[in-house]
Copies of this chain bind each other. A is one copy, B any other.
Amino acid sequence: MNVGIYIYDQAEVLDFSGPFEVFSTASRICENDTPFNTFLVSETGQEVNARGEYRIIPAYSFQSSPHIDLLIIAGGVHSSEMKKKTVLQWIRKTSANATVVASVCTGVFLLAAAGVVTKHTVTTHWEDIGDLKAGYPNLNVRESKRWVADENIISSAGISAGIDMSLHLVSILYSKMLAEKTAVQMEYHWKTRSYV
């Protein structure tokens, strides 16, 4: 399964590195199988300057990316991305072809701007709940949840909640045992339930 994580300038570091750690570790420790091929994707494939001057080189551009089965949209300072037609089009098209679409933190704003979530039940960082409700009144925005699933779309609360959501995705896409082993390997106290 190809796990593609969308990153951009001013993306929040833990929003993409947390899920990256979960899926790459799950694949590494999985016995007799490598269930997840995890990679970062940006618009151009060139160096991305994530929040706090953290310079990262994605594996692929929109053009060069292989098919994505699980698309994860990182949050951060997403306002510039909201204005980019190419980005929103790519998110819309890639989401339509993906098995599962996920967002971390404010990544859900990009899913909303791209029209991937319309009347869905979603969540975001506690600081942005008000803005999400105001900007997209048709969404059913939930508070105080680590993550929220609606059909094949799953959105997490802020930053570190992306780790809990990713472990949950490992559990439903592969096995609960692998998700638990991954949390133990990461020495992470997994919030296995979606409520805080």
Interface residues of A (CB under 8 A from B): 12-14, 17-18, 20-21, 24-25, 28, 38-40, 47, 51-59, 125-127, 157-161, 163, 185-189, 191
A25 CB to nearest B CB, Å: 8
A16 CB to nearest B CB, Å: 9
- A56 with B53, Cβ < 8 A, contacts A125-B187, A160-B187, A185-B159 known: no
A182 CB to nearest B CB, Å: 10
Q: A24-B54, A159-B185 are in contact. List 10 more A-B contacts (CB 8 A).
A: A12-B21, A13-B20, A14-B21, A21-B159, A47-B57, A53-B59, A56-B56, A125-B187, A160-B186, A161-B187
Q: How far is the CA of A59 from the CA of B55 in the complex (A)?
A: 8
A24 neighbours in B (Cβ, 8 Å): 13, 51-52, 54
Q: How far is the CA of A14 from the CA of B187 in the complex (A)?
A: 11
A87 CB to nearest B CB, Å: 21
The one of B17, B47, B55, B160 in contact with A13, judged by C-beta atoms closer than 8 angstroms, is B17
A28 neighbours in B (Cβ, 8 Å): 52
| Chain B CB within 10 A, most for which of A21, A157, A188 | A21
Q: How far is the CA of A163 from the CA of B188 in the complex (A)?
A: 10
A189 neighbours in B (Cβ, 8 Å): 160, 189, 191
Contact B53 A126 (CB under 8 A): no
Report, nearest first, the 4 A-B pairs whose CB atoms are least far apart. A24-B52, A17-B17, A158-B187, A55-B57
Contact A56 B57 (CB under 8 A): yes
Q: Which residue of B lies closest to A23 (CB)?
A: B52
- A57 with B57, Cβ < 8 A, contacts A20-B52, A38-B52, A189-B189 known: yes
Q: What are 28 A-B contacts defined by CB distance under 8 Å? A: A12-B21, A13-B21, A14-B17, A14-B18, A14-B21, A14-B186, A21-B52, A24-B52, A28-B52, A39-B53, A53-B59, A54-B56, A55-B59, A56-B57, A57-B57, A125-B187, A127-B185, A158-B185, A158-B186, A158-B187, A159-B187, A159-B188, A160-B186, A160-B187, A160-B188, A161-B187, A189-B189, A189-B191
